[in-house]
Amino acid sequence: MAIMDDMKKNIKFAGFTLVELVVAVGLIALLAGIAIPMLLSNLPIYRLRAASREMLGAMQRSRASAIRDAKDWGIIFNQAANTYTVCEEITVTGGNWVAQTGLACEPAVSLTDYGSGVRFGDGGGSATTYIDGTVIPANDFIDYANSVVVFDSRGYSSSGSVVFANENNECFGVGSSSAGVVRMRKWSGAGWVQ
């Protein structure tokens, strides 16, 4: 009997009590209740930044491809459809820029796919200039001639920029200089900042 009593004293019960589990679940719910609204309120700017960075990447890829392939590469913007397409050897046909038949074009990128109202836009008039300082005319958020940026075999490009906005009227601009330098800026309310 003494042996049994010693064994009972050495047995320990492991696990959590119901009170400990309820407290832990309550804390997790409280933290989620605080974090989720904060995340959701920042979602539009994250999506706008993602669209702008993708445009920056598309311009850099077009420039690198133009140098590598020793031929023009460009991006055709369609403001009405909120899309753009990266193509090799684009040419003017009937006043419009088009990709030559049989040459490489990436699938069109739709800004509306980002959600949160991402589009070509000036944030309801909050952004007043393109990133190079040129004043944005009414409803024209693409500062490239014929809505196309072209990179040649030396990496030079047409100069200009495009402006993106979201449902909160926040703005980003992406553009290129004639030397082919590609940059992205955020509208601060008073001007473009890095």
Each residue of 142-169: pLDDT tens digit? 989 888 999 999 999 989 999 999 999 8
- Res. 50: pLDDT tops 80: yes
Residue at 1 is within a domain: no
Residue at 90 is within a domain: yes
Tokens of 169: 């009227």
What does the pLDDT look like over 77-120, one tens digit per residue? 999 999 999 988 766 665 556 656 666 788 899 999 999 999 99
Residue at 13 is within a domain: no
Residue at 36 is within a domain: no
pLDDT at 131: 83
Residue at 62 is within a domain: yes
Establish how many alpha carbons lie within 13 A of residue 61's alpha carbon, considering only the half-sphere containing its beta carbon. 13
Q: How far is CA 129 from the centre of its chain?
A: 20
Cα–Cα nearest to 72, from 176, 161, 142, 149: 149
pLDDT at 138: 75
pLDDT at 156: 95
For the chain, how many structural domains are there in total?
A: 1
The residues facing 192 across adjacent strands are: 187
pLDDT at 154: 95
pLDDT at 94: 57
Distance CA 194, CA 2 (A): 79
CATH number, domain of 96, equals: 3.55.40.10
pLDDT at 158: 87
Cα–Cα nearest to 147, from 98, 110, 94, 89: 98
Residues 6 or more apart in contact with residue 110 via CB below 8 angstroms:
81, 82, 83
Distance CA 100, CA 181 (A): 26
Whole-prediction pTM:
0.77
Range of the domain at 76: 47-193
Strand order from edge to edge, sheet including 148-151: 109-110, 83-88, 73-78, 148-151
Residue at 169 is within a domain: yes
Residue at 119 is within a domain: yes
pLDDT at 30: 84
Q: For the chain, give the mean pLDDT.
A: 85
What does the pLDDT look like over 14-29, one tens digit per residue? 788 889 889 999 988 8
Residue at 60 is within a domain: yes
pLDDT at 146: 85
- Res. 176: pLDDT tops 90: yes
Mean pLDDT calculated for residue range 172-190: 92
- Res. 1: pLDDT tops 60: no
